[in-house]
């Protein structure tokens, strides 16, 4: 799907279906190439999901949109929501906000993936997000917006974002684990609103950057968990919420984390393969294989069935 006046794919409605028989759910979206959208309606999205649970988005290539590639959920805050159990995996998302030819950005408040509301059982894993920008603010890679709850973010690679690889506006009990966040221009991660519950656990991640802050937002109240992370400020030093590492650890954060070169093969060119003696491995980081994610070859039916854990459903797609 390409040269689109608006978006590529829309699943579900803005309202929660009162009758389960008309609820949109359990769709499989696999091996699609969706690009060069939002030509007329610039705020259009590659794949939009409203109140629709238990869908799976596997091995899609989405790029060249002025706004977000994925948007999932349509409940602001902690009210009733019906987008739990969605799985976004092995997708390649890039040139969001700014086109590959340099056009843009023209919009703000966007992400490679944007979520809202209760997402118990939802997972964002083994995706590659890169080259994401916004006009004033909000060029984030993974963006958990208002009330995102119960989301698991793991094994993703996010790099070259204008305003950070990960942002949680507000939400609770999310897990951000075993990801690589690299080369955010203004900051690497952000949390906008402190609340009196655990916002998220941020564990076993690798962060590498040249410029900008490590963290944007007040983190001093202890309503998030940070540990077993590897930080590498290439041109500067570790400063988290105006604190150096020792002060940060005294607050209870990152007590087992380290500052060290992760020893990537060639991170500036997008090669985040770890060398065998990487200190990240000693911290429990599990290497992320993105060869199939970046491949233009459609996943085979056997690979898809393995990914879907043997889900008993016939898969129809064009080889």
Q: Which residues pair with 167 in a beta bridge?
A: 143, 190
User: What's the mean per-residue pLDDT of the chain?
Assistant: 94
Instruction: Give tens-digit pLDDT for 141-152.
Output: 999 999 999 999
**Average pLDDT of 75-91?**
97
- pLDDT, average across residues 123-136: 98
The Cα–Cα gap between 190 and 192 comes to 6
Are 88 and 22 contacting, i.e. CB atoms less than 8 angstroms apart? no
- Note the pLDDT of residue 309: 65
Residue 312 pLDDT > 70? no
With cut-offs at 50, 70 and 90, classify the pLDDT of residue 49: very high
Write out pLDDT tens, residues 145-179. 999 999 999 999 999 999 999 999 999 999 999 99
Q: Place 300 in a pLDDT band, splitting at 50, 70 and 90.
A: confident
If pLDDT is split at 50, 70 and 90, which confidence band does 191 have? very high
Global confidence as pTM: 0.94
316 pLDDT above the threshold of 50: no
Residue 129: asked if its preceding bond is cis (omega within 30°), the reply is: no
* Structure confidence at residue 50 (pLDDT): 98
The larger pLDDT score, comparing residue 277 to residue 222, is at 277
User: 243-272 burial, b for 16+ CB within 10 Å, e for fewer?
Assistant: bebeebbebebbeebbeeebbbeebeebeb
Q: What percent of the chain has pLDDT over 90?
A: 87
Which pLDDT belongs to residue 313? 46
CA-CA distances (angstroms) from residue 306 to 28, 155, 309? 14, 18, 5
Give me the mean pLDDT over the 293-297 stretch: 94
How far lies 154's CA from each of 56, 185, 255, 277, 298, in Å?
A: 16, 22, 21, 22, 23
Contact 61, 34 (CB under 8 A): yes
Res 314 pLDDT > 90: no
């Amino acid at each position: 799907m390409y040269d689109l006046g608006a978006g590529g794919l829309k699943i579900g409605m803005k309202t929660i279906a009162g009758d389960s028989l008309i609820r949109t759910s359990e769709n499989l979206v696999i091996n699609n190439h969706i690009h060069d959208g939002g030509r007329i309606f610039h705020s259009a999205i590659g794949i939009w999901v409203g109140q629709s649970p238990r869908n799976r988005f596997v091995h899609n290539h989405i790029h060249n949109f002025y706004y977000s590639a994925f948007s999932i959920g349509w409940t602001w805050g902690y009210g009733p929501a019906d987008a739990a159990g969605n799985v976004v995996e092995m997708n390649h998302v890039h040139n969001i906000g700014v086109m590959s030819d340099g056009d843009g950005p023209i919009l703000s408040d966007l992400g490679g993936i944007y979520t809202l509301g209760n997402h118990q059982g939802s997972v964002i894993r083994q995706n590659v997000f890169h080259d994401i920008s916004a006009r004033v603010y909000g060029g984030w890679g993974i963006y958990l917006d208002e009330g995102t709850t119960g989301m698991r973010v793991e094994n993703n690679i996010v790099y070259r974002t204008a305003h950070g690889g990960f942002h949680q506006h507000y939400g609770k009990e999310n897990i951000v684990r075993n990801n690589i966040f690299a080369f955010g221009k203004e900051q690497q991660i952000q949390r906008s609103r402190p609340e009196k519950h655990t916002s998220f656990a941020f564990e076993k991640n690798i962060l590498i950057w040249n410029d900008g802050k490590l963290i944007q937002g007040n983190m001093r109240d202890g309503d998030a968990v940070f540990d077993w992370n590897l930080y590498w400020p290439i041109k500067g030093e570790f400063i988290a919420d105006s604190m150096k590492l020792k002060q940060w650890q005294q607050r209870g954060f990152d007590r087992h984390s380290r500052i060290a070169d992760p020893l990537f093969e060639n991170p500036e060119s997008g090669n985040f393969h770890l060398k065998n003696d990487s200190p990240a491995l000693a911290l429990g980081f599990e290497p992320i294989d993105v060869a199939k994610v970046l491949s233009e070859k459609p996943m085979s039916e056997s690979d898809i069935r393995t990914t879907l854990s043997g889900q008993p459903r016939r898969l129809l797609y064009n080889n």
